[in-house]
Amino acid sequence: MSFTHDIKSNRLLDVVINENFSDIAPPLSDKQVLVASERCLFCYDAPCITACPTGIDIPLFIRKINTGNNHGAAKEILSANILGGSCARVCPTETLCEQVCVRNKHEEKPVEIGRLQRYAVDHLDPAQPYPFTRAKSTGKHIAIVGAGPAGLSCAHQLACDGHQVTIFEAADKSGGLNEYGIALYKLVDDFAQTEIEFVLKIGGIDIQYQKALGRDISLAQLRENYDAVFLGIGMSDVNALNIPGEQYPGVEDAVAYIEDLRQETQLSNLPVGRRVIVIGAGMTAVDIAVQSKKLGAQDVTIVYRRDKSAMGASQHEQDLAQQNGATFICNAQPKEIIGDESGITEMVFNKTETDDNGKLVVTDNLISLPCDVVFKAIGQKFESSPLGNNSDKPALDQRGRIAVNDNFQTSLNDVYAGGDCINGKDLVVEAVDHGNKAALAIHQQLKQIINQGE
Partner 1 sequence: MANLACEFIGIKSINPFWLASAPPTDKAYNVVRAFEAGWGGVVWKTLGEDPAPINVSSRYGAHYGQNRQVLGFNNIELITDRPLQINLDEITQVKKDWPDRVIIVSLMVPCEEEAWKNILPLVEATGADGIELNFGCPHGMPERGMGAAVGQVPKYIEMVTRWCKQYCSLPVIVKLTPNITDVRKPAAAAMRGGADAVSLINTINSITSVNLDTMSPEPSVDGKGTHGGYCGSAVKPIALSMVSEIARDPETANLPISGIGGISNWRDAAEFISLGATNVQVCTAAMLYGFKIIDDLCDGLSDWMDQKGYKNINDFSRMAIPNTTDWKHLNMNYKRIAHIDQDICIGCGRCFAACEDTSHQSILQTGDLGDRKYTIIDEECVGCNLCEITCPEPNAIKMVDIDTGKPHLSWLHHPENPYREEK
Ligand X SMILES: Cc1cc2nc3c(=O)[nH]c(=O)nc-3n(C[C@H](O)[C@H](O)[C@H](O)COP(=O)(O)OP(=O)(O)OC[C@H]3O[C@@H](n4cnc5c(N)ncnc54)[C@H](O)[C@@H]3O)c2cc1C
Which residues contact partner 1 by CB under 8 A? 30-31, 34, 38, 42, 44, 57, 60, 63-64, 67-69, 71-72, 75-76, 125, 128
84 or 151: CB nearest ligand SF4? 84
**If contact means CB under 5 to 8 A according to the sort of partner, which of ligand X, partner 1, ligand SF4, none does residue 300 touch?**
none
**If contact means CB under 5 to 8 A according to the sort of partner, which of ligand SF4, ligand X, partner 1, none does residue 335 touch?**
none
Q: Which stretch binds ligand X (CB under 6 A): 14-22, 57-65, 166-174, 394-402?
A: 166-174
CA–CA dist 439, 419 (Å, integer): 13
Would you say 249 and 372 are in contact if contact means Cβ atoms under 8 Å apart? no
Sites for ligand X among residues 255-294 (CB under 6 A): 255, 258, 283-284, 287
Torsion angles phi and psi, residue 151, rounded to 5: -65, -40
Encoded one letter per residue, x for contact with ligand SF4 by CB under 6 A and - for no contact, window 418-437 reads: -----------x--------
Decide: is 52 part of the binding site for ligand SF4 (CB under 6 A).
yes
% helix, strand, coil for the chain, step of 5: 40, 20, 45
Which of 72, 85, 110, 114 touches ligand SF4 by CB under 6 A? 114
CA–CA dist 183, 261 (Å, integer): 9
Pairing verdict, β 228-231 and 415-417: parallel
CA–CA dist 43, 283 (Å, integer): 31
34 or 450: CB nearest partner 1? 34
Run of H or E including 374: strand 373-376
Which of 205, 207, 415, 431 touches ligand X by CB under 6 A? 431
63 or 316: CB nearest ligand X? 316
Would you say 97 and 111 are in contact if contact means Cβ atoms under 8 Å apart? no
CA–CA dist 13, 29 (Å, integer): 30
Decide: is 150 part of the binding site for ligand SF4 (CB under 6 A).
no
142 or 313: CB nearest ligand SF4? 313
18 or 128: CB nearest partner 1? 128
Nearest distance, CB of residue 203 and ligand X, angstroms = 21
- Core vs surface per residue 432-441: b (16+ CB within 10 A) or e: bbbbbbbbbb
32 or 99: CB nearest partner 1? 32
Residues in the chain: 454
Nearest distance, CB of residue 29 and partner 1, angstroms = 9
Nearest distance, CB of residue 85 and ligand SF4, angstroms = 10
Run of H or E including 263: helix 254-263
Instruction: Collect all residues with Cβ–Cβ distance below 8 Å to 331 and sequence separation of at least 6.
Output: 304, 305, 306, 307, 351, 352, 353, 354
Encoded one letter per residue, x for contact with ligand SF4 by CB under 6 A and - for no contact, window 69-98 reads: ------------x-----xx--x-x--xx-
**If contact means CB under 5 to 8 A according to the sort of partner, which of ligand X, partner 1, ligand SF4, none does residue 213 touch?**
ligand X
CA–CA dist 410, 421 (Å, integer): 12
Decide: is 352 part of the binding site for ligand SF4 (CB under 6 A).
no
Would you say 81 and 199 are in contact if contact means Cβ atoms under 8 Å apart? no
Decide: is 144 part of the binding site for ligand SF4 (CB under 6 A).
no
117 or 301: CB nearest ligand SF4? 117
What SS3 class is residue 135? coil
67 or 323: CB nearest partner 1? 67
**If contact means CB under 5 to 8 A according to the sort of partner, which of partner 1, ligand SF4, ligand X, none does residue 426 touch?**
ligand X
- Cα–Cα nearest to 190, from 207, 174, 205, 206: 174
Dihedral angle computed from the Cα positions of residues 408, 56, 125 and 65, in that order, rounded to the nearest 10 degrees: 180
Nearest distance, CB of residue 63 and partner 1, angstroms = 5
CA–CA dist 354, 310 (Å, integer): 11
**If contact means CB under 5 to 8 A according to the sort of partner, which of partner 1, ligand X, ligand SF4, none does residue 317 touch?**
none
**If contact means CB under 5 to 8 A according to the sort of partner, which of partner 1, ligand X, ligand SF4, none does residue 31 touch?**
partner 1
38 or 197: CB nearest partner 1? 38
CA–CA dist 52, 95 (Å, integer): 10
Nearest distance, CB of residue 72 and partner 1, angstroms = 4
* Cα–chain center distance at 219: 25
Q: How many CB atoms lie within 10 A of CB 224?
A: 8
Decide: is 232 part of the binding site for ligand X (CB under 6 A).
yes
Would you say 452 and 446 are in contact if contact means Cβ atoms under 8 Å apart? no
- Cα–Cα nearest to 58, from 105, 109, 108, 96: 96
**If contact means CB under 5 to 8 A according to the sort of partner, which of ligand X, ligand SF4, partner 1, none does residue 433 touch?**
none
> By the criterion CB under 6 A, which residues form the site for ligand SF4?
52, 54, 56, 58, 81, 87-88, 91, 93, 96-97, 113-114, 117, 429
